[in-house]
């Protein structure tokens, strides 16, 4: 990567002064040297095809042109993928890297109209279709004879799935389902690829049979003629319009005017409707939680990628940018030397590691719980569900804040699309809303925590075990200024807030309020209890997982990794001082110690700031940023990119002759 | 506004239940019934021209088309303005409304290429040109014979003005200045209208004469031929590329290759260069602070407009949207009934009033201080400067957070550009960076506070007088759970943090660090001290100004206005509990009381949530939002707007035949 490019001398100096082996950390992040090799080979292979190169950056295209470019590139990408699969039989790894990971966004920066085909359509068929149905559909889907998507959200309902309005009514006479959109708000709204790309769709609809509603079930529906791509009769389909981001995804709407589909098009692996219209319920409704949780685990991985990009860009730029003065009569310092700048960036680097290790932990737990489910054991399902909800909320909102902080830390230039920070923010902030709105997610975890608190006499699962201890003693354990102490502190906060909320709810109930209203009145504090629980969990697993890792690393890397854990812990304790003061025995002297510890950590980490982001090893093609490239030629690239603006292709724009000149001459 | 449109029944119910007279509040906000009338007449006049109506929403255009549309609309707008001025000799009010206010953004939503001509070019000529120069230039500028802009920021330097690199070297032989860009980083970068619109420019450059540099001075430079608009020899000019927002402003870059201009093109009202090259210094360099502070005061007004739009949109949508459940077996509630939603929105409404009144207060102070300056009295200049710095930082960052919170509170639909929330965020977040980067601003105020603290034995100006009291007693005054008490609490926080910072700095100096390094090490806490000072100021002036207003209002409006002050005070004390716990005598019981007070205020304000945003009286044409219109037809408008997407003009996009079908058939 670094061979034969001339690197900005400030950036080179940073690399020369790094105290640890950057490659060692890269290997650690990838999961071993062979994994790094595989990744690099895959990247090499993909980028040598040149699909990622645009004549005119897509930022300058019209909305329609952006879609057309996205279709072209998505087709090229998956064509290449097909070839690669044929050549080396590489399994799912290539798919995963190109769909979810950094590599996909390097080619289709603002989303792909084919993603949902792979990420939702095919997996739903695999998870919810019967064996016969799979035999019929999956082959066609895999070889792209059909392109599908997944339609659940409606104009009027998102997170609250029970409220969906689309109906699928069984007609035993013809053995068909009639799909219908009874209201404007029942139109499907948002599914990626739905607008002009997919010709098939899994539709979630309220199932009616023999006069009774049985709730939401999946149906496969053909939307467009396979030859002409024209929408079929009764199908109203189109795109929902321009968005803050993801303008390559071709999000669509979909309405049905009594569209008939064969009975066999209901996906019947779980629940069924027999020919005579009899409804047969699935053995367990909890099985469908699986996909939702899987997606949330993947989301934590995604937001790590976005954050890693943003901190790489902002940190390298801060090493290159010189500005202002610290000491008079000295040259302008690198802005990375300002402690306020270190404060904005280093927590970002630490957070990437924290979330990455959490995601790994959650992935293991997910696999364990899924394995237990297969044997009928559902004991840890509520715990996993509660954990995945608050982690979804906290990681996405922290990541969005981190990306935006990085953008603002680059000053005006962060506002340029060519920095790639605005686009990254557009992607990461979307995750605060989709797959469960964040406030709703926090309150779901809170519900679990309140239940756990009330039942704390019984044995509690590991991640909430601390609640039982807290319930026993009314006094917080003595404050200790250490990472362990901080974890215990956050657990005290969570327990203390839950205790307060439960007391509030009970008080309100006694005053005559029903539980639901009392819950609603207390919900601001409940969400905050849920957040504290999540922070305690993230911090403790970050620490525990890092302790495991450093057993095998070099001493120099070990030192840096432990500093990152400390930084993350101290940063958050300083952010949450009010809570610590309320729910632990922390003193003013302890706070001073925390401040000193924090400032000391910034001093220690400063020389490794660039090395740490280099270790994320994000290729320039993936970063796609004028400010963040490996060689640090930020100003040169800003100018080079500006010159690609079609407005700069001609010295005088036609609007001068058309409007400006007549206007100036009073002739308009 | 409301006549003959069918209003969503939920929204109508909200209006029926409002406890105060909405029109009375509108009058209060506008500054009296006649001001409301004037505004409404102006709006009526502007919108009947139809300039705001686009065939295809500009969100769907290419970058180049967006610029061309912006030029067209800007010309139409100012043509109309010229006519209005001729017709009724209306003074500056029309200009101000169309340039800065809501009305301008209703027509040119994403910025105008002519704004800087009026907002910076002409004012700079008026402030910095001699009488003779004004005679020559201002007429031509006013009648648009020339179009100008103002170029200060460079690729390599923004907030730190002393670091600018463009040079203007005087040549006594020819009596000319030679403008030159010695490096890539010295290129001007960012000025609005510079790219392809302006043909003249005020350029800030390092003045060299007789071998000596005298710092930054203003020069007027012709950029393009007046007839052909082609850039003149030695002028390298173009656009900087696509941005997160403000894509109608035509931001440009500008480089000089030894461009000669006559001596008379230096703006010499303050400093001068004589024919022989002698430099004559301005009597006072502080006079130039004026414009900068004026712009910052205006900024506070602007961010109020952005916030008012965002809370109007999100509040009305929250009254229309029904979702989820509070109590089982009841219909889905309006999402405005969720306390977490009230928590997100009502603080936004309160903040608009708080910032608006602060801006008014600051405007009066600005005028007083300017009047004093004319008489040579500069005593309150540092205080005003310090106040304007922290207010710029806190109001812009709070406003950006508020707009984004409103967007997220609208769930997925807030992500649609047609909600107008993303565009509004793009505009408001830009203000966190321009006119002085926020962290730098906070540290400038901190410098003043530290100075005030150290000199606290002498008499201190009113806004920092509390520091003197705090210095005398080591114990915080007793906590009082009241608005006054909270103001005092924030002053204790500010004083306490300044005290701590000063002690830290001194300790570090004693350990051998130079002052500058000690300052840098302490800067995270210094910025936070500055923030606390600012919050104390906002809160106390919000309270004081509201107390004055409610003397003449009806009792029902008075009650609501005082509730908003209380809400603002309690919200921020709950946000800053940690600081209050550290620097005041607040107890756990007081905190519980604050929580109850807050929840009680939400209950009281809930029925007036819609009335309060209606009172901002923002016309639908200005809101420009599918989610926020007066009639509440959010879903209908979402669909109507979607249908305007050019992609929806044809059922099958050409990319199907070009890429998708060949790809599906394996023929690509």
The count of residues in chain A is 668
CA-based nearest residue in chain A for residue B343: A524
- Chain A residues with CB under 8 Å of B54 CB are none
Name, in order, each residue with C-beta under 8 angstroms of A181's C-beta and a sequence gap of 6 or more. Answer: A165, A166, A187, A188, A236, A255, A256, A257
CA distance linking residue A612 with residue A622, whole number of Å = 17
Distances (CA, A) of A71 to A148, A582, B291: 14, 55, 50
Residues of B in contact with A326 (CB under 8 A): 516-517, 520
Of A60, A61, A158, the CB nearest to B412: A158
Percent of residues in chain B assigned helix, strand, coil, to nearest 5 = 60, 10, 30
Question: Under an 8 A CB cutoff, do A239 and B145 touch?
Answer: no
**Contact between chains at B326 and A651 (C-beta distance less than 8 A):** no
pLDDT 10s digits, B268-314: 998 999 999 999 998 765 556 667 777 888 899 999 999 999 999 99
Residue A282's SS3 state is coil
pLDDT < 70 stretches in chain A: 1-5, 88-92, 284-291
Nearest Cα residue in chain B from A416: B243
Q: Which residues in chain B are closer than 8 Å to A636, comparing Cβ atoms?
A: 184
The answer to whether the CB atoms of A155 and B638 lie below 8 A apart is yes
Closest chain A residue by Cα to residue B443:
A340
- Shortest alpha-carbon distance between residue A174 and chain B (Å): 30
- DSSP H helices, A3-62, are 9-16, 22-30, 33-48
Q: What is the DSSP letter of A50?
A: T
> Inter-chain contact A155–B635, Cβ cutoff 8 Å?
yes
- Whether residue A411 and residue B197 make contact (CB cut-off 8 A), yes or no, is no
Q: Do A417 and B338 touch (CB under 8 A)?
A: no
Which residues of chain B have a CB within 8 Å of the CB of A238?
A: 642-643, 645, 647-648
Which residue of chain A is at minimal alpha-carbon distance from B246?
A: A415
Angle at B653 between CA B647 and CA B658, to 5 degrees: 145
Chain A residue whose CA is closest to B250: A647
Q: Which of A340, A414, A642 sits opposite B527 (nearest CB)?
A: A340
Bridge partners (DSSP) of residue A279 are: A273
DSSP A303-328: HHHHHHHHHHHHHHHHHH-B-S-SST
Nearest-CA distance B370 → chain A (Å) = 28
Min Cα–Cα distance to chain B from A537, Å: 22
Residues in A touching B663 (Cβ below 8 Å): 75, 78-79, 144
Q: Which two tokens stand for residue A361?
A: 């932990």
| Token representation of residue B630 | 């007066």
- How close A55 comes to chain B (CA, Å)? 15
Given the residues B43, B435, B545, B566, the one annotated as active site: B435
CB contact under 8 A, A655 and B72: yes
Interface test with A, best of B181, B195, B226, B242 (most A CBs within 10 A): B242
Calculate how close chain A gets to B434, using CA atoms only, in Å: 7
Residue in A63, A404, A624 to test binding to B, most B beta-carbons within 10 Å: A63
- In this prediction, the residues of chain B whose per-residue pLDDT falls under 50 are 1-3
| Three-point CA angle B603, B604, B606, nearest 5° | 65
Would you call A238 and B646 a contact, using CB atoms and an 8 Å cutoff? no
Alpha-carbon gap, residue A361 to A646, rounded angstroms:
48
Task: Look at residue B92 in the predicted model and tell me its pLDDT.
Answer: 64
**B554: helix, strand or coil:** coil
What's the pLDDT score for residue B455?
86
pLDDT, residue B4, reads: 56
CB contact under 8 A, B520 and A326: yes
CB contact under 8 A, B414 and A432: no
What is the rounded CA–CA span in Å between residue B27 and residue A588? 49
Contact A340 B524 (CB under 8 A): yes
- Dist CA B76 CA B407 (whole Å): 32
* pLDDT for the residue numbered B1: 43
Q: What is the pLDDT of residue A89?
A: 59
Q: Locate the DSSP E strands across A157-222.
A: 167-171, 176-180, 188-189, 200-209, 212-222
Contact of B187 with B169, CB cutoff 8 Å: no
Cβ separation of B416 and A243 shorter than 8 Å? Answer: yes
Cα–Cα distance between A634 and A625 in angstroms, integer?
Answer: 9
d(CA A634, CA B433): 19
Calculate how close chain A gets to B35, using CA atoms only, in Å. 31
Q: Do residues A432 and A397 lie in contact, with contact meaning Cβ atoms separated by under 8 Å?
A: yes
Q: What is the pLDDT at residue A2?
A: 43
- Which residues have CB under 8 Å from A465's CB, separation 6+? none
**Residue B657 carries which DSSP code?**
I
- The Cα B598–Cα A381 span in angstroms is 36
Q: Which of A57, A226, A242 to mutate to test the interface with B (most CBs of B within 10 A)?
A: A242
């Amino acid at each position: 990567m670094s061979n034969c490019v001339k690197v900005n001398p400030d950036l080179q100096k940073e690399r020369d002064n790094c105290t640890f082996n950057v490659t060692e950390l890269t290997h650690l992040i990838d999961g071993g040297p062979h994994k790094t090799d595989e990744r690099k080979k895959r990247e090499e292979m993909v980028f040598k095809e040149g699909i990622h190169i645009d004549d005119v950056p897509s930022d300058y295209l019209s909305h329609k042109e952006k879609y057309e470019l996205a279709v072209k590139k998505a087709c090229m990408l998956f064509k290449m993928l097909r070839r690669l699969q044929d050549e080396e039989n590489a399994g799912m790894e290539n798919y995963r890297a190109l769909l979810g990971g950094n590599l996909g966004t390097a080619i289709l920066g603002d989303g792909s109209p084919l993603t949902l085909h792979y990420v939702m359509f095919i997996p739903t068929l695999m998870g919810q279709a019967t064996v016969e149905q799979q035999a019929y559909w999956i082959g066609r889907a895999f070889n792209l004879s059909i392109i599908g998507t997944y339609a659940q959200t409606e104009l009027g309902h998102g997170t609250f799935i029970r409220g969906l309005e689309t109906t699928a009514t069984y007609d035993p006479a013809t053995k068909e389902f009639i799909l219908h959109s009874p209201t404007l708000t029942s139109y499907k709204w948002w599914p990626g690829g739905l607008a002009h790309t997919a010709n098939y769709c899994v539709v979630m609809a309220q199932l009616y049979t023999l006069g009774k509603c049985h709730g939401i079930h999946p149906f496969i529906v053909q939307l467009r003629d396979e030859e002409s791509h024209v929408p079929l009769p009764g199908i109203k389909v189109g795109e929902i319009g321009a968005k803050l981001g993801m303008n390559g995804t071709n999000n669509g709407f979909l309405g049905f005017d009594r569209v008939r589909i064969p009975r066999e098009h209901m996906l019947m692996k779980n629940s069924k409707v027999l020919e005579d219209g009899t409804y047969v319920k699935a053995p367990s409704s909890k099985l469908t939680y699986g996909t939702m949780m899987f997606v949330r685990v993947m989301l934590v991985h995604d937001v790590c990628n976005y954050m890693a990009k943003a901190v790489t860009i902002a940190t390298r730029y801060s090493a290159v940018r010189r500005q202002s003065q610290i000491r008079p009569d000295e040259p302008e310092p690198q802005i990375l030397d300002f402690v306020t700048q270190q404060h904005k960036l280093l927590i970002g680097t630490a957070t990437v590691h924290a979330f990455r290790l959490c995601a790994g932990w959650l992935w293991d737990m997910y696999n364990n719980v899924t394995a237990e489910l297969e044997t009928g054991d559902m004991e840890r399902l509520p715990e996993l569900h509660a954990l995945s909800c608050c982690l979804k909320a906290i990681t996405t909102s922290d990541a969005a804040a981190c990306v935006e902080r990085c953008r603002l830390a680059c000053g005006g230039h962060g506002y340029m699309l060519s920095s790639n920070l605005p686009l990254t923010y557009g992607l990461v902030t979307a995750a605060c809303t989709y797959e469960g709105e964040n406030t709703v997610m926090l309150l779901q975890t809170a519900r679990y925590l309140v239940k756990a608190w009330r039942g704390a006499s019984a044995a509690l699962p590991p991640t909430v075990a601390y609640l039982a201890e807290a319930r026993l003693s009314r006094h917080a354990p003595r404050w200790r200024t250490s990472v362990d102490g901080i974890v215990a502190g956050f657990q005290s906060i969570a327990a203390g807030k839950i205790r307060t909320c439960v007391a509030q709810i009970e008080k309100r109930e006694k005053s005559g309020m029903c539980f639901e209203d009392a819950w609603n009145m207390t919900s601001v504090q409940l969400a905050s209890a849920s957040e504290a629980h999540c922070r305690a969990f993230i911090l403790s697993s970050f620490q525990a997982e890092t302790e495991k890792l450093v057993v095998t690393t070099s001493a120099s890397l070990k030192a840096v990794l432990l500093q990152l854990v400390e930084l993350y812990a101290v940063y958050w304790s300083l952010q949450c001082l009010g809570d610590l003061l309320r729910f632990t025995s922390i003193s003013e002297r302890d706070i001073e110690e925390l401040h000193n510890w924090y400032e000391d950590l910034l001093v220690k980490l400063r020389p490794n700031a660039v090395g740490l982001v280099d270790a994320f090893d994000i290729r320039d093609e993936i970063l796609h940023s004028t400010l963040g490239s490996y060689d640090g030629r930020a100003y040169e690239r800003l100018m080079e990119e500006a010159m690609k603006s079609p407005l700069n292709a001609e010295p005088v724009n036609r609007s001068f002759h058309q409007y400006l000149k007549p206007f100036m001459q009073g002739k308009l």
